[in-house]
Amino acid sequence: MNKAMLFIPRKLTLPYSWCGHIPFVGWLINQHRPKTIVELGTHSGNSYFAICQSVLENDTGSKCYSIDTWKGDEQAGYYGEEVYTEFFAYHQQVYSGFSNIMRMTFDEANKSFNEDEIDLLHIDGLHTY
């Protein structure tokens, strides 16, 4: 078994719904070594922090981008500023060297990337796709 499949996240917080995919993201980043990773919809950060941790542990040299308004929506529910505050504090301590937070809508962020620039896109927001 590939050791990336035994990936254990350093930080988890509610909601835990995405956590079953964490070993897969560890394997995916280890195997494919994407240069640019973008996550659409981050909420409390479980998936994004797993991505960033995997980038560090596998020394991929990837640049990561988290895109969210941190306001919530009808599907995920609406939540307070404390969700972003906690996410931001941990991010700045651990991942700010290669990771960027883009607090904006997906449409606004789209203008920041060239057509073929994104190697791995994780869509975890507005689950109507």
Mean pLDDT by 10 residues, the chain (129 residues): 72 83 92 97 94 96 97 73 94 98 95 94 70
Q: How far apart are CA 53 and CA 5, in angstroms?
A: 13
| pLDDT at res. 8 | 83
Per-residue model confidence (pLDDT) at position 1: 57
How far is 72 from 126, CA to CA, in rounded Å? 9
| Tokens found for residue 92 | 């700045």
Long-range contacts of 97-102 (CB under 8 A, 24+ apart): 98/52, 98/55, 98/61, 98/62, 98/63, 98/64, 99/52, 99/63, 99/64, 99/65, 99/66, 100/63, 100/64, 100/65, 100/66, 101/66, 102/65, 102/66, 102/67, 102/68
pTM: predicted TM-score of the whole model, two decimal places:
0.89
pLDDT at 129: 44
Q: Tell me the β-bridge partners of 36.
A: 63
